[in-house]
Amino acid sequence: MPAARIEHAVIVTGHDLNTLRYAIEVAIRARKRNGLPASPTLTRLLHLTSGHTDDRKPPGDETTPHDPIPLAAAAEQLGVSARHARRLAPRIGGRKVKGRWTVDRHALAEHLEGRT
């Protein structure tokens, strides 16, 4: 039996495990392609389905500082419209939290330095 549900857990083995891993990889690529930040949950699930037995969080999840500023302030510093800043946000340290974009202050400063 390749997959089984036991109370609040699912045991997946064999070909079903490979299919699950593939689906997770597709979801991660789609988020990246659509400019969304990496999902810690999907990254952890990919790690779990890759044959590793320990459930450690991937490096950089909680260790990366994020000093957020509102997207409107970032747009003003960049000298662009808020709409264009939303397009740039994933490339300049932006994160979408509860439907609103914020941009990492340090990543924005690095972007501005590299642009001049």
At residue 73's C-alpha, the angle toward residues 103 and 69, to 5°, is: 35
Q: Where are the domains of the chain?
A: 3-48, 68-115
DSSP 8-state secondary structure symbol assigned to residue 57:
P
| pLDDT tens digits along 23-63 | 999 998 888 888 888 888 898 888 888 875 555 555 554 54
| pLDDT tens digits along 72-85 | 999 999 999 999 99
Residues 24 and 46: their CA atoms lie apart, in Å, by 6
**Both tokens of residue 103?**
């941009």
Distance of CA 11 to the CA centre of its chain: 26
Confidence at 104, pLDDT banded by 50, 70, 90: confident
Residue with tokens 């409107």: 72
